[in-house]
Each structure stands twice: as C-alpha cells, then as structure tokens.
C-alpha cells in the first residue's frame, strides 16, 4: 500500500553520489561563485555550500553588494592546505588532515567559526599531548583563546610539572627568581595560595611602582614570609618597615568572571630565547593590564625549601623559582588578624518567644554531628580558625566547651565512627590546606592525631560507612578547583586507601550515609555551583549519578531522617539560601520543604530525636551564632525555646 496515494522512494546512494559530484565540480572550478585567496593560492567553491558550513563566510556572502556575482575573500594569515582540508570537509563531511597540519586546520576553523571542527582538532591535539610538547600546546591554546583546551592542558601540567620542567620549551620560558627569608621555625606552604601572594606582589610592582616585568626578572628578588603567614617586601623589612602583600583571600583577586586571552593586547611578548620585550602599549596602564591574564598554574617542591612554579604573569607564561632561607633580619611585627565581634545582643524582653541559646562564638564552615543522644559538637571559624569545640545539651538549652582540637581548622566536615568523632583536613586560615586529622574520645575528653591524608585538602566531605571513614572531594592545594579523590580510613589498621573517583569534581559538597550507600550532594566544580548528586556503592566501588536537586548549591548541610535526606541551606553562587529540600531514595526524587527562618551557608546540621537542628553559618552579611530547628510533622522551622521544651518533654 502506498499511503495517501503518494509514491515514496528513498535513494540511499543519492547523497553520497551528489556530494562526490559537487566536490568534483569544486575542484574543476565548474559553477563556482566563490574565490578564496589564501596566501597567494586561489581556491574555488560554491557560495551556498560554504554558507551552510561557515557562519563567518555566511555573514560575508550575506553582506555582498552584488550577491549574484563572484565573491572574492582574501586570507593572508591562513594555511592554504588547511583551508583546502576545510573545503573538503564542507563538501564531504570528512575531515582528513596530516598531524602536522592540525594546528593550522584549527586556526582556519576558528576564523571560519566552524566550532565542531575546532573541537575535533582540539581533542586530537590533547590526545597527542605529552610532557615534551605541553608548553607549546598551552601557548597555542592560549593564542586561540580556547578556554576548554587550556584548562585541560593546565590540568596535565599540574600532574606532570617535574617532567614538563625538563623539556626544552620549558627551559626557554622567562623566569622570575625569588628568595624568601624565613624565621627559624617557619617553612613555606607547598600549595598555590603562596603563589597568589607572589602574583599580588608582582602586580603591585608593575601597577603601583611602575616596574617592568622584564626588569623584575633581571635579578633575584628578596621577600619576607612573616610568622603570621604574610608575604612582605624584603627591602621594606630591611628598612624597618613592614608592608604586607597577600592576605588569606588574595587568590580571589585573580579569579576572572570571563576568561582572558593571553594574546589579547599583550604588553609583553616572549621571544624564542625566553626574553621579554614590551609592546607599544604602556606597560603600567592598569586599564590595559586588567584585561590580561594573571594565573597560577602549578608548583612542585624540588628540594628542601626550594619550589618551582609555572604561572601567567601579566599575560606572559613564566617560571617562578622560589627559595626559602633563614632570615638574618629581625621579624617585623605580626600583622594583627581582623576579628569579628563575638558578642551578640539579647532579644528584647517584650518578645513572647525567645531564641535558643546562642553559641559562645559565631561560626561558619563548621563541622557538626550528634554524639550520643543528647549532645551536638561544633567547631570552626570567623576570620581566623578556632580549635574550640562546643557541646549543646537540648534539655538544658546550654552550650559548654569541651577539649579543644590539637590543630586550629576551618572549612572541614566531621563524622562519628565506632563512638569516636573524626575531623579531617580543612584549612588553617593562613596559606595551608591541611592533611592532618584527629579523633575525639568523649569518655576521655581528648583528641588524638590520626595518620595524615595523602592529599592536602579543605572543603572535603567526611562520612562513616561500613566501619570506615571516607573523605570525598574537596579543594585542591591550589584552591582553584574541586577534586574527584575519594579516600577511606580503616580505624583498626589506621591506614588510608584509595577508592573510585567521583564522576564530577566537587568541593563544599554535603556528604552522608543512608542505607549502606554514601551520597555526595551538590558542591562546586570551581566556582560554579552544582545540583548534581552522586551515590557510592561500597560493594562494587562505584559512583552513580542520581536525580539532581531542584536548587544548585554549595556549602549546604545534610541530615538523615526517616530514610530520607534533608539538604539545608547553602550558597547558590550569589546568595546564601534559606530553602530546604528532601530526597526520597525509593522514588529517586527531590521535593522542596519549608524554608528556614535565616539564610545559612556552611552551617552545621544534626538530628536530635525527631528534630533537625541547623546551627551557625553565614547569612550573606555576617557569621551566625544562632540555631533553629525543623519539625518534620509540621514542615516548619522554629527558633523558639518554648517549642524545644515541648519537643524534649
């Protein structure tokens, strides 16, 4: 039967035959209405075909004054062979290029705005990358402004910096030599935050002092690393002054909302010998300089107190050699830490309802957990890190101090395993992510050191599962992106082992155990917040992506109640959140619940009885010492002591 009396016929060979004939017509110049002049070579083609494949050429043809004549388009900076390869692709959908021509094909595809070809060429180049050609690949990706390829090249260099540093391309890079004076009891932190301070020092030298990058590289520069983890100009220390370069959050200065191409209006250009030459732009014009890239890429400790770093300074790929030595000078006075007031105002007596008792300290980025049925433990930070630990008794509505931790720390999570409370990693509030961990014995009221992690990290998730302690994700030592790492600690053998990696890099994720599985919820890859959720099965050591949350969030807290996950607050990239949602594993779905009375990111949360408590956090303006609780039966949050009394009776 022929439906509707129409004849229907599909010729499977027609397209291939037609495409082959059209390409043959192009090569013989028949019916062609486009002439591409590429570095003295003339290539013929058909306007309609090229307009379909190249948005760039479509715009040119569409603006022709005489659209029915022959279009002439000239390219003086493209490779004729590469353009011919793109023309073949436009007619046959087959991309065939000698490996030596892939970069030229990429450049031509970029000009023609052929994004698919760009991606294929970029992936091919990445597949051929090794330690020997990583620097040249990075220079090429930077000149093309390809953020995707550039990020993957940088990740490779981070993992293979020592091998890359032995190659000829690396040895030709311009270099900045720094000698950092140290007090006898100090060592340099071996992570990227130290170099954010170095980048800050270079910026100040160029912008405020009017120095040129080339001049800074002519001789060894002397700096001073103060006891309070600040980087001070060495000359100022000798003169009896102490101007500080680089606070704890300096790395935020180098985060660009939009990627900046190193090739865009570059003030300095790098010659084959590695020397620098200023361009026609004014080297100290901050308007021009702000548009170029400042970026830490990777670093390695080569010998005792000697470090090797690769960074982009003012748009120039450079090597930084940094050596720490004992200081002959007297230390400048420590820079005082800015403290936020720890006081809180009592509510007016005329209010009928009274908030639950506040903690002694306002805290954010704290750890919290229930240990026994009547206590909750919390730790952490204001602008500085705390060792203090507070215990809450809901019957007495009071907070008491217990034994302090051995190490001040912030931006960490905690878990209970075999009656012991564990805290792992975090930040010391200065320049270091931590690899150390400790456990708390509630009977002895004391903390004990446990074996260190193999990777320094903060903002990691911690969870107990099947008599092991798991540490998941976190911030890398550079503080620039999340980690996929998952490590398990055996408290009996006191050893760490590797587990399967996460599907997605993430830090500041909420982590918990439910029904024999471990869940990692939200977080951020770098700065972009995630709504994705992964579940770990310890039986086969695999991570599986499950239903995503309704709201992307990092720094959220999670509690388990009645076989479901309750995710509380967090930060969505622009605001601290009040909203709460619950996950039902039986349905694999998320549902929004009643919102908290306060916005809270990096808060603590724990279950006491049938009640969920949210404690501390940051509301977008200030650190909180308040607490509120959730009643699952009424789907309401309340900060009233009267409601607590009713629940605890």
CA–CA distance, 150 with 129 (Å, rounded to integer): 12
By the 8 A CB rule, do 296 and 307 touch?
Answer: no
User: Has residue 221 got a pLDDT over 90?
Assistant: no
Q: What's the pLDDT at 382?
A: 37
CA–CA distance, 182 with 266 (Å, rounded to integer): 35
Conformation bin of residue 346: beta by default, left when phi > 0, alpha when psi is -120 to 50:
beta
Q: What's the pLDDT at 307?
A: 83
Structure tokens belonging to residue 140: 């090429």
Question: What is the DSSP code (8-state) at residue 263?
Answer: T
- Is residue 378 very low, low, confident or very high in pLDDT (cuts 50, 70, 90)? very low
**Report for 399-408, 573-582, 640-649: range of highest mean pLDDT:** 573-582
CA–CA distance, 307 with 317 (Å, rounded to integer): 17
DSSP string, 62-86: HT-SSTTS-EEEEESSS-HHHHHHH
Structure tokens belonging to residue 399: 């907070």
Q: Span 101-129, mean pLDDT?
A: 93
236-295 pLDDT, tens per residue?
A: 554 444 444 444 333 323 332 233 333 333 333 333 334 453 333 333 343 343 347 788
**Report for 39-48, 559-568, 599-608: range of highest mean pLDDT:** 559-568
Question: What is the DSSP code (8-state) at residue 485?
Answer: -
Structure tokens belonging to residue 139: 């220079």
Q: How many CB atoms lie within 10 A of CB 179?
A: 15
- Is residue 639 very low, low, confident or very high in pLDDT (cuts 50, 70, 90)? confident
Stretch among 153-167, 190-204, 236-250 having the lowest mean pLDDT: 236-250
524-528: Cβ within 8 A, 24+ apart? 524/482, 524/554, 525/481, 525/482, 526/480, 526/481, 526/482, 527/255, 527/573, 528/573
- Is residue 374 very low, low, confident or very high in pLDDT (cuts 50, 70, 90)? very low
Q: Span 59-88, mean pLDDT?
A: 84
434-463 pLDDT, tens per residue?
A: 666 788 888 888 888 887 776 667 788 888
Phi/psi for 626 (5° steps) reads -90, 170
Closest among 134, 106, 108 to 119, alpha carbons compared? 106
Stretch among 124-133, 216-225, 561-570, 572-581 having the lowest mean pLDDT: 216-225
CA–CA distance, 131 with 164 (Å, rounded to integer): 5
Closest among 387, 389, 385 to 401, alpha carbons compared? 389
Q: What's the pLDDT at 251?
A: 32
Q: pLDDT: is 130 or 222 the higher one?
A: 130
- Is residue 413 very low, low, confident or very high in pLDDT (cuts 50, 70, 90)? low
Q: What percentage of residues in the chain have a pLDDT greater than 70?
A: 71
Q: What's the pLDDT at 339?
A: 28
- Give pTM, 2 decimals: 0.47
The dihedral over CA atoms of 543, 547, 549, 555, expressed in degrees to the nearest 10, equals -10
By the 8 A CB rule, do 582 and 539 touch?
Answer: no
294-322 pLDDT, tens per residue?
A: 888 888 877 767 888 899 988 899 999 88
Question: What is the DSSP code (8-state) at residue 597?
Answer: S
Which alpha helices (H) appear in 183-233, and where do they start and end? 192-207, 213-216
Q: What's the pLDDT at 379?
A: 42
Q: What's the pLDDT at 537?
A: 94
Structure tokens belonging to residue 417: 């395993």
Q: What's the pLDDT at 369?
A: 53
DSSP 3-state of 601: strand
User: Has residue 85 got a pLDDT over 50?
Assistant: yes
By the 8 A CB rule, do 40 and 30 touch?
Answer: no
CA–CA distance, 506 with 529 (Å, rounded to integer): 9
Q: What's the pLDDT at 434?
A: 64
Stretch among 228-232, 344-348, 464-468, 539-543 having the lowest mean pLDDT: 344-348
Q: Span 482-492, mean pLDDT?
A: 87
- Give the side-chain half-sphere CA count within 13 A for 274: 14
Q: What's the pLDDT at 107?
A: 93
Indicate the average pLDDT of the chain.
76
Closest among 519, 502, 523 to 601, alpha carbons compared? 523
CA distances from 3 to 7, 8, 11 (A): 8, 9, 18
Q: Span 340-347, mean pLDDT?
A: 30
Segment holding 559, helix H or strand E: strand 557-561
Q: Span 494-507, mean pLDDT?
A: 90
Ordered structural domains, the chain, with CATH: 16-128 (3.30.710.10), 173-258+283-326 (no CATH), 364-648 (2.120.10.80)
By the 8 A CB rule, do 247 and 230 touch?
Answer: yes
Q: Span 46-69, mean pLDDT?
A: 83
**Report for 59-68, 237-246, 454-463, 503-512: range of highest mean pLDDT:** 503-512
CA–CA distance, 412 with 424 (Å, rounded to integer): 7
516-559 pLDDT, tens per residue?
A: 999 999 999 877 899 999 999 999 999 999 999 999 999 999 99
Stretch among 220-234, 393-407, 421-435, 526-540 having the lowest mean pLDDT: 421-435
Closest among 405, 413, 418 to 445, alpha carbons compared? 405
Q: Span 365-372, mean pLDDT?
A: 50
């Amino acid at each position: 039967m022929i439906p509707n009396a129409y004849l229907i016929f599909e010729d499977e060979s027609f397209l291939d035959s037609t495409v082959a004939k059209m390409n043959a017509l192009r090569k013989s110049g028949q019916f062609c209405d486009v002439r591409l002049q590429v570095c003295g070579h003339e290539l013929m083609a058909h306007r309609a075909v090229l307009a379909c494949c190249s948005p760039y050429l479509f715009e040119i043809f569409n603006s022709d004054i005489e659209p029915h004549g022959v279009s002439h388009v000239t390219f003086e900076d493209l490779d004729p062979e590469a353009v011919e390869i793109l023309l073949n692709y436009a007619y046959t959908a087959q991309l065939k290029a000698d490996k030596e021509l892939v970069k030229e094909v990429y450049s031509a595809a970029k000009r023609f705005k052929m994004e698919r070809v760009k991606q294929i060429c970029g992936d091919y180049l990445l597949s051929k990358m090794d330690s020997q050609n990583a620097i040249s690949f990075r220079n090429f990706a930077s000149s093309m402004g390809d953020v995707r390829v550039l990020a993957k090249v940088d990740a490779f260099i981070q993992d293979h910096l020592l091998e890359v540093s032995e190659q000829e391309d690396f040895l030709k890079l311009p270099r900045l030599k720094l000698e950092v004076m140290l007090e006898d009891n100090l060592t340099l932190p071996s992570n990227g935050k130290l170099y954010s301070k170095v980048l800050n020092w270079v910026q100040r030298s160029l912008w405020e002092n009017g120095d040129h990058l080339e001049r800074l590289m002519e001789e060894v520069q002397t700096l001073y690393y103060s006891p309070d983890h600040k980087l001070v100009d060495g000359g100022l220390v000798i003169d009896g002054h102490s101007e500080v370069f680089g606070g704890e959050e300096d790395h935020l200065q180098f985060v660009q909302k939009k990627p900046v191409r190193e090739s865009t209006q570059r003030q300095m250009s790098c010659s084959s010998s590695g020397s620098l030459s200023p361009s026609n732009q004014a080297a100290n014009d901050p308007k021009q300089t702000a548009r170029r890239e400042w970026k830490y890429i990777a670093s390695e400790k080569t010998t005792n107190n000697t470090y090797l770093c690769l960074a982009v300074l003012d748009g120039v790929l450079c090597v930084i050699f940094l050596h720490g030595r004992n200081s002959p000078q007297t230390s400048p006075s420590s820079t005082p830490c800015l403290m936020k007031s720890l006081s809180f105002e009592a509510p007016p007596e005329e209010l009928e309802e009274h908030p639950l008792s506040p903690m002694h300290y306002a805290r954010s980025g704290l750890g919290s957990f229930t240990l026994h049925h009547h206590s909750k433990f919390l730790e952490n930070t204001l602008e500085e890190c705390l060792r203090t630990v507070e215990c809450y008794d809901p019957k007495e509505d009071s907070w008491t101090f217990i034994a302090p931790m051995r190490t001040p720390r912030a931006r960490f999570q905690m878990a209970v395993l075999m009656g012991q409370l564990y805290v792992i990693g975090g930040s010391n509030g200065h320049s270091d992510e931590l690899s150390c961990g400790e456990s708390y014995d509630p009977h002895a009221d004391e903390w004990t050191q446990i074996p260190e992690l193999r990777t320094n990290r903060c903002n990691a998730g911690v969870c107990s599962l099947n008599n092991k302690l798991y540490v998941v994700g976190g911030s890398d030592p550079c503080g620039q992106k999340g980690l996929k790492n998952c490590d398990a600690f055996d408290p009996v053998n006191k050893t760490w082992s590797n587990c399967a990696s996460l599907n997605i890099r993430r830090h500041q994720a909420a982590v918990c155990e439910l029904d024999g599985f471990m869940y990692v919820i939200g977080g951020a890859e770098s700065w972009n917040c995630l709504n994705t959720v992964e579940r770990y099965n310890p039986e086969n050591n695999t991570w599986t992506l499950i239903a995503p949350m309704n709201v992307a969030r990092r720094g959220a807290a999670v509690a388990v109640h009645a076989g479901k996950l309750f995710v509380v607050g967090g930060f969505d990239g622009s605001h601290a959140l009040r909203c709460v949602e619950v996950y039902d594993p039986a349905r694999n779905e998320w549902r929004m619940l009643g919102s908290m009375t306060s916005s809270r990111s990096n808060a603590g949360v724990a279950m006491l009885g049938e009640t969920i408590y949210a404690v501390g956090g940051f509301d977008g303006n200030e650190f909180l010492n308040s607490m509120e609780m959730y009643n699952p039966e009424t789907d309401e949050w309340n900060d009233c002591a009267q409601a607590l009394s009713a629940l605890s009776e």
